[in-house]
């Protein structure tokens, strides 16, 4: 996803689990609050692809990570 003129570039925040073995995931909480779209990316590749998830999709990803992390 590329921000449009009306959407500022997201501020990224690392997951609290990112310190475990270099598996770094970042998300953009302010973007989610403003748009309802949950952006997720690999912090080791900040210019690479991003996932854009719904609230339910993001909750499912977090649940999956907790069970399989």
pLDDT digits (tens, 9 = 90+) for 1-50: 444 556 678 999 987 666 666 668 899 999 999 999 999 999 889 899 99
Cα torsion 37, 28, 25, 2: sign: positive
pLDDT number for residue 21? 61
pLDDT number for residue 68? 84
Residue 30 host element (H or E): helix 29-35
d(CA 59, CA 20): 20
pLDDT number for residue 29? 95
């Amino acid at each position: 996803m590329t921000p449009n003129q009306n959407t500022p570039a997201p501020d990224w925040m690392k997951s609290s689990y990112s310190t475990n073995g270099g598996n770094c995931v970042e998300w953009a909480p302010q973007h989610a609050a403003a748009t309802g779209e949950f952006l997720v990316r690999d912090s080791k590749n900040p210019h690479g692809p991003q996932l854009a998830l719904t609230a339910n999709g993001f909750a499912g990803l977090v649940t999956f990570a907790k069970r399989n992390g």
